[in-house]
Structures are given as structure tokens and as C-alpha cells.
Amino acid sequence: MKIQERTGAGNNRSAAPVQPTMGERLPSPPRERKPALAALAVLLILVGALGATMLVLRAGDRIEVVKVTSDIQAGESVGDHVESVLVADDAGINYVRWSQHKTLEKLKAKSTIYKGTLVIGEMFGTEASVPAGKAVVGLSLKEGQYPEGIQAGDLVAAYQVGDTNSSNSDDETGTGSSGSAGTGGTPIVDNARVAKVPDDKGDSTISSTNKRITVTVDESDAAALARAAAANQVALVLIPGN
């Protein structure tokens, strides 16, 4: 009877979950594999490595070239108006290497070279070339006929000064120029660019007070300016735009 009572009593009890014993782990759910994400991660790693390699290779192909730090006018040398910069090497561009800048000082700019320009070999030569429609005129001026501190690159106007009676009489007889350029307050040339001004120490003109100044003017104004210069009747004035 006791055995049956115990059995009956056990039938009325709720079944309790079996607890794991000490040292056992619960089973973990199986991990879901994502091959697409794994492939993408590998691809990103490869792209990053390739980019780093390209940067290293490109940095190794950079060269040191000449860069202009201030405007250089036609006929001038680079002087000390240059600095070195690193650029990517390009076989199609004739860069002037920084190692050649001393040789470059012996050459002259063929035309105006502006600040910030990377120098290439075609920009310089033994002689400066005159732009189309322009002419270069040399002047020998006394003190007072040019502004103090005048330098290459300045923009000037050229006026006729002194006794102009002889030139006017020539015009009346037909032996001089037609018109009266530079008379009555009208400049001979109202927009001339100073191409060259020698150093005072290096100026070897006949008179120590004369300065040889070279200007670039429109071709149509060159004859009148040359005649006035030959008669020593030219004065230069700085104009706005410098």
C-alpha cells in the first residue's frame, strides 16, 4: 500500500526541467555563414593595399623642377626669382629640373613668364623673341627723363620733351613724320612695357648720368618713339597698372 501511495502521489507532480550538471555548457545555436560579406571584406583589403602601393610608386616618380616666384619679362633671366617644387614626372612635358637652374640663368625669357609658372625648356633661349605686333626700342635717358626706381615690367608712357621746332618744321616740309605724336601733352606711346633696365654698376653708357632702358611698344608707335629718342627728346612716366 505504501508503494502505491507513493506512486500515485508522484503522478500528480509536475515534471521539472532537468538542470545541467556542473561543468556542462548549454549548446549554442549554429552560426549562419555569409560568404558574400567575407568576399567583400577580402576585396576591400586588396583595394586598400593596392591604393597604398600606387601612392608609394607615385611618390617615387616625383621630380624636383623650377617654379617662377615673380613675373619675368621677355629678355630677362630667371635670376633669383625661382624656387624648387616637386611634381609628378611626365615624359610629355619638358620640365626644367632644379639641378639645371644655374644653366637657366644664362638664358633669356622668350616672352613674359608669370608668377607661379612651372618652367619648361621652350620658355627660354639665347635671345628673346618679340611678340607679334610689338617692337623693342632702346632709349638712353638722362636723370629726370625717367622715374626713380624704374624696373623691368613697369608700365610707362613716353612723352616728347625739349625743343620740337625742328621736328615740326620737318613735318611741314614733308620730310618728317605725318602727324604730331607726342606734342601738346599727347604721349608718343601711352602704353609701353619696360623690358630691361641695367644695374647702375653695369651701365657703361657714355654719360654716367644716362640710363639705357629698353621698352616694348606697339609696332605702329616704334618709329615715332625712335625718332624722339634719337633727338634725346623722350621722357618716361609711370602710369596706373603697375
Confidence of residue 20 (pLDDT cuts 50, 70, 90): low
Between 216 and 10, the higher pLDDT residue: 216
CATH class of 62-125: alpha beta
Tell me: pLDDT of 18 over 60. no
Mean pLDDT taken over the chain: 76
CA distances from 90 to 62, 83, 99, 115 (A): 9, 19, 17, 22
Question: Which amino acid would we find at residue 171?
Answer: D
Q: Please give the pLDDT value at position 111.
A: 77
pTM for the model:
0.48
User: Domain-by-domain residue ranges, the chain?
Assistant: 62-125, 134-238
Q: Please give the pLDDT value at position 210.
A: 82
* CA–CA dist 18, 35 (Å, integer): 38
CB 104 within 8 A of CB 188: no
Tell me: pLDDT of 11 over 50. yes
Tell me: pLDDT of 29 over 70. no
Q: What are 196's three cell numbers? A: 630691361
Q: Please give the pLDDT value at position 133.
A: 83
Q: What are 43's three cell numbers? A: 576585396
- The pLDDT tens digits for 39-88 are 778 888 888 887 776 766 555 578 899 999 988 877 778 888 899 999 88
* CA–CA dist 19, 175 (Å, integer): 130
* DSSP per-residue letters across the chain: -HHHHHHHHHHTSPPPPPPPPTT--PPPPPPPP-HHHHHHHHHHHHHHHHHHHHHHHHHHTEEEEEEESS-B-TT---TT-EEEEEEE--TTS-B-BGGGHHHHTTSEESS-B-TTPBPBGGGEESSPPPPTTEEEEEEEE-TTSS-TT--TT-EEEEEE-S--HHHHHHHHHTSS-SS-TT-TT--SEEEEEEEE---TTT---SSTT-EEEEEEEEGGGHHHHHHHHHTT-EEEEE-TT-
Tell me: pLDDT of 152 over 70. yes
